[in-house]
Amino acid sequence: MAGDIHRQTGWWVAGFMGVVGVLGVSLHILDREPSRVFWVLFGTAVAAVLGQVGLGLYSFSVDEAQPGNIHVFYGVVIMFTLAFAYIYRAQLARRPALYYGLLALFMMGLGLRAIGNFGESFGG
């Protein structure tokens, strides 16, 4: 059940993260500070990503799903990306619209790579 939800919502979460990323970069190009709406959307997108990772872990451990090593690797990279973003949040705050927008686009890319490599493993 969790694996089905994880599979069905993956595209939506990646797409939502992409929309938030484009919004952030657009705000920077227009020389506007991110509003409360941007931060709510960004927080919602991050919560959705964390939910996806949680569903994936649950599906892997309880439902004994076999997502493949590469899919799991990208999930781990997404978590490290969020951890490093938290560690460097003071530096990201210098140009928040640009940096958080690029962060969202990067995480969207990682999510798409994870979706595209479902079931594949390293070395064969």
Residue carrying structure tokens 């530096």: 91
Q: What is the pLDDT of residues 12-29, one digit of tens each?
A: 999 999 999 999 999 999
What is the value of pTM for the model shown? 0.90
Q: What is the pLDDT of residues 65-110, one digit of tens each?
A: 788 888 889 999 999 999 999 999 999 999 999 999 999 999 999 9
Q: What is the pLDDT of residues 30-39, one digit of tens each?
A: 999 999 999 9
- Cα 14 from Cα 11, distance rounded (Å): 5
Residue carrying structure tokens 């969020």: 82
- Cα 107 from Cα 111, distance rounded (Å): 6
H/E run at residue 93: none
For the chain, domain boundaries: 2-116
